[in-house]
C-alpha cells in the first residue's frame, strides 16, 4: 500500500482515544507526514472510562483533561483543529467541508482520511421527556454539563443498569448522591451477566444505598418526577440516561460509504473507499462494533503500521472488560454475538466464576466477580480470539 499523499497528509476526524492513539502510534513510525486532527469537541486528551468513576474521586471536567489540544499538537507535531465539525465528505474531491467555531465553513483536503468519530448516546424516548433535561455523559462537555449544578447529596434518576449505568450508579452513590436506577432487565448488566452474578451486583449496589427498580420501565417523565409502568412514583433532581451508544455513521453514509451498525471496515481498517479508514466506536470490523478501549488500541497500532507503508491485518485476542463497580469488582469477556451455549457458574456469594460454555464443553466467554477477577488474564488466554 502506498504511503499517504505527503502534501494533503493524513486527516483524522475525532480526538478521542481512537484519533489520538492513532496519531501517537503513527508518529512512532513516521515523524514527517502532516497529520491534521479535526474535532468537534475541545480536543483535550482524556481517558473516557474515567467519566464513570470520577465523582467518587472528586474530579471535574477540568481535572479529567490530561492535556489541552495545543499541548497534544506540540507533543505529536500535528495540527489539531478543535471545535471544528466535519459536516460533509466529498470523496471525489478528497475534501471535507468543515464548520468552524464562528459558524463559517471551510474545505480541508486529505490524502488519507481516518474516521474516529465515536458514537452517540442512544436517544431516550418516553412520554414527557421533552419536559425534562435527560443528560447523558459521553464526553468531557457532557460531564461538565452533568456535574454543573448537581447539588451535593441530590437525587439522581439513572435510566439503564448496563455496564456504564451500573458504573455511574456505584460512582454517584459512593459520592453521596441518592441514586434510583430503572431498567427493564431483571438484573444489572442483564445482557452480559448470568443471573447469579447479576443478583450479586444488584445486592452490592443496594448495599451502597442505590434503589433499584429492575424489570420496570418509565411510563412518564415530568419535571422532578417519574412514574414507572407499575405506577411507582420516583422523585428526582436530575436524570441521567445510560442506555447505550450508536456508532456515528451519518457522515460516512451520506458520502456513500458502506455502513451497517458501524462504518464497515476490513482487516486493514479500510472502509469501502480505499482512501478512507475508520477505527474505534464508529467502526465495525469483522468482529462487529467493539466499543471498548483495548480493541481500539490494537486497531490504532495496526492502522498506524498500515498507513506508514506496512499493511497490517488487525488481530484481536479475547479482551476482557473490567467493570468499574468497586462495590463488587467484575471482569467480563462476552461470548461472540449469537454464540450458542449456556452459563456454568461456580463459586458463592460475591466470588463467582461464570463460563459461557457450548454443548461440547468449550468456553466461549466468561464473567468473574469479587476475588475471582484475579483469574481474568489467565482465562482470557483460553478464550477464542475475536479476530485471528
Ligand atoms: C462513561 C464511559 C465509561 C467507559 N468505560 C470504559 C471502560 O472502563 N473500559 C473500556 O474498555 N471502555 C470503556 N468505555 C468505552 C471507551 O471509552 C470508548 O470505546 C472509547 O473511548 C471510544 O473512543 P473513540 O475515539 O472511538 O470515540 P470518542 O472518544 O467518542 O471520540 C469521538 C471524537 O469524534 C469527534 N467527532 C464526532 N463527530 C465529529 C464531526 N462530525 N466532526 C469532527 N469531529 C467529530 C468527537 O468530538 C470526539 O473527539 C466507556 C465509555 C463511556 C462513555
pLDDT tens sequence across 195-253: 999 999 999 999 999 999 999 999 999 999 999 999 999 999 999 999 999 999 999 99
Residues with CB under 6 A from ligand 1: 13-19, 38-41, 48-49, 51-52, 85-86, 116-118, 137-138, 164, 248, 251, 280-281, 291-294, 296, 321, 324
Q: Which residue has the cell 464548520?
A: 99
> What's the CATH number for 329-382?
3.30.390.120
Average pLDDT, the chain: 96
Say what the pLDDT of residue 133 is: 95
Q: Which ligand 1 atom minimizes the distance to the CA of 251?
A: 41
CA of 25 to the centre of ligand 1 (A): 18
pLDDT in tens, 308-331: 999 999 999 999 999 999 999 999
pLDDT of residue 56: 86
- Residue range 145-158: mean pLDDT, rounded: 93
Q: Per-residue confidence at 149, pLDDT binned at 50, 70, 90? A: confident
The residue whose C-alpha atom lies closest to atom 2 belonging to ligand 1 is 49
**Ligand 1: nearest atom to the Cα of 84:** 43
Distance set, CA 381 to CA 211, 227, 293, 302 (Å): 37, 46, 18, 21
Tell me which residue has its CA closest to atom 6 in ligand 1. 49
Q: 324 C-alpha to center of ligand 1: Å?
A: 17
pTM: 0.96
Topology given in CATH for the domain delimited by 10-120+245-307:
FAD/NAD(P)-binding domain (3.50.50)
323 CA closest ligand 1 atom index? 8
Residues 6 or more apart in contact with residue 344 via CB below 8 angstroms: 354, 355, 357
Candidate from 14, 40, 242 with most ligand 1 atoms within 8 A of CB, to mutate: 14
- Ligand 1, atom 26: closest residue by C-alpha: 280
pLDDT band, residue 120 (cuts 50/70/90): very high
Does 152 or 149 have the greater pLDDT score? 152
End-to-end CA distance of the chain: 22
Kindly report the protein residue whose alpha carbon is nearest to atom 27 of ligand 1: 118
Which residue out of 23, 84, 292 has the highest number of ligand 1 atoms within 8 Å of its CB and is therefore the one to mutate? 292
pLDDT at 8: 76
Distance (Å) from CA 188 to ligand 1 centroid: 23
Q: Does residue 180 have a pLDDT over 50?
A: yes
Residue bearing the bigger pLDDT, 65 or 1: 65
> How many Å lie between the centroid of ligand 1 and the Cα of residue 90?
24
pLDDT at 2: 39
Comparing 148 with 1, which gets the higher pLDDT? 148
> Cα of 230 to ligand 1 centre, how many Å?
35
- Across-strand partners of 203? none
Q: Whose CA is nearest to atom 38 of ligand 1?
A: 117
Residue limits of CATH 3.30.390.120 in the chain: 329-382
In the chain, CATH 3.50.50.60 covers 10-120+245-307, 123-241
CATH topology for the 123-241 domain: FAD/NAD(P)-binding domain (3.50.50)
Would you place residue 7 in the very low, low, confident or very high pLDDT band (cuts 50, 70, 90)? low
Amino acid at each position: 500500500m502506498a504511503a499517504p499523499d505527503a502534501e494533503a497528509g493524513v486527516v483524522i476526524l475525532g480526538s478521542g482515544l481512537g484519533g489520538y492513539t492513532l496519531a501517537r502510534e503513527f508518529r512512532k513510525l513516521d515523524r514527517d507526514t502532516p497529520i491534521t486532527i479535526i474535532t468537534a469537541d475541545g480536543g483535550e486528551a482524556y481517558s473516557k472510562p474515567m467519566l464513570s468513576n470520577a465523582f467518587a474521586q472528586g474530579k471535574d471536567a477540568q481535572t479529567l483533561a490530561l492535556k489541552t489540544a495545543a499541548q497534544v499538537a506540540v507533543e505529536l507535531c500535528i495540527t489539531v483543529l478543535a471545535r471544528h465539525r466535519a459536516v460533509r465528505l466529498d470523496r471525489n474531491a478528497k475534501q471535507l467541508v468543515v464548520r468552524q467555531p464562528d459558524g463559517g465553513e471551510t474545505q480541508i483536503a486529505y490524502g488519507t482520511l481516518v474516521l474516529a468519530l465515536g458514537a452517540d448516546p442512544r436517544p431516550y424516548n418516553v412520554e414527557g421527556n421533552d419536559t425534562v433535561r435527560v443528560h447523558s455523559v459521553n464526553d468531557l462537555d457532557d460531564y461538565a454539563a452533568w456535574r454543573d449544578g448537581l447539588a451535593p447529596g441530590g437525587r439522581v434518576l439513572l435510566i439503564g443498569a448496563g455496564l456504564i449505568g451500573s458504573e455511574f450508579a456505584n460512582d454517584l452513590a459512593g459520592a453521596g448522591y441518592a441514586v434510583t436506577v430503572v431498567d427493564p432487565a431483571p438484573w444489572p448488566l442483564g445482557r452480559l451477566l448470568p443471573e447469579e452474578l447479576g443478583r450479586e451486583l444488584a445486592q452490592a449496589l443496594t448495599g451502597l444505598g442505590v434503589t433499584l427498580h429492575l424489570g420496570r420501565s418509565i411510563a412518564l417523565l415530568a419535571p422532578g418526577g417519574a412514574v414507572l409502568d407499575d405506577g411507582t412514583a420516583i422523585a428526582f433532581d436530575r436524570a441521567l440516561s445510560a442506555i447505550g451508544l450508536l456508532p456515528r455513521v451519518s457522515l460516512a453514509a451520506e458520502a456513500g460509504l458502506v455502513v451497517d451498525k458501524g462504518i464497515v471496515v476490513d482487516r486493514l481498517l479500510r472502509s469501502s473507499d480505499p482512501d478512507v479508514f475508520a477505527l474505534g466506536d464508529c467502526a465495525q470490523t469483522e468482529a462487529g462494533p467493539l466499543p471498548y478501549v483495548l480493541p481500539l488500541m490494537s486497531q490504532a497500532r495496526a492502522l498506524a503500521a498500515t498507513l506508514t507503508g506496512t499493511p497490517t491485518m488487525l488481530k484481536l485476542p479475547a479482551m476482557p472488560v473490567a467493570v468499574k463497580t468497586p462495590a463488587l469488582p467484575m471482569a467480563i469477556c462476552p461470548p461472540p454475538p449469537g454464540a450458542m451455549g449456556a452459563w456454568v457458574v461456580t463459586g458463592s456469594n460475591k466470588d463467582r466464576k461464570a463460563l459461557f460454555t457450548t454443548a461440547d464443553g468449550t468456553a466461549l466467554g466468561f464473567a468473574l466477580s469479587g476475588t475471582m477477577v484475579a483469574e481474568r488474564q489467565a482465562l482470557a488466554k483460553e478464550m477464542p480470539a475475536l479476530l485471528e
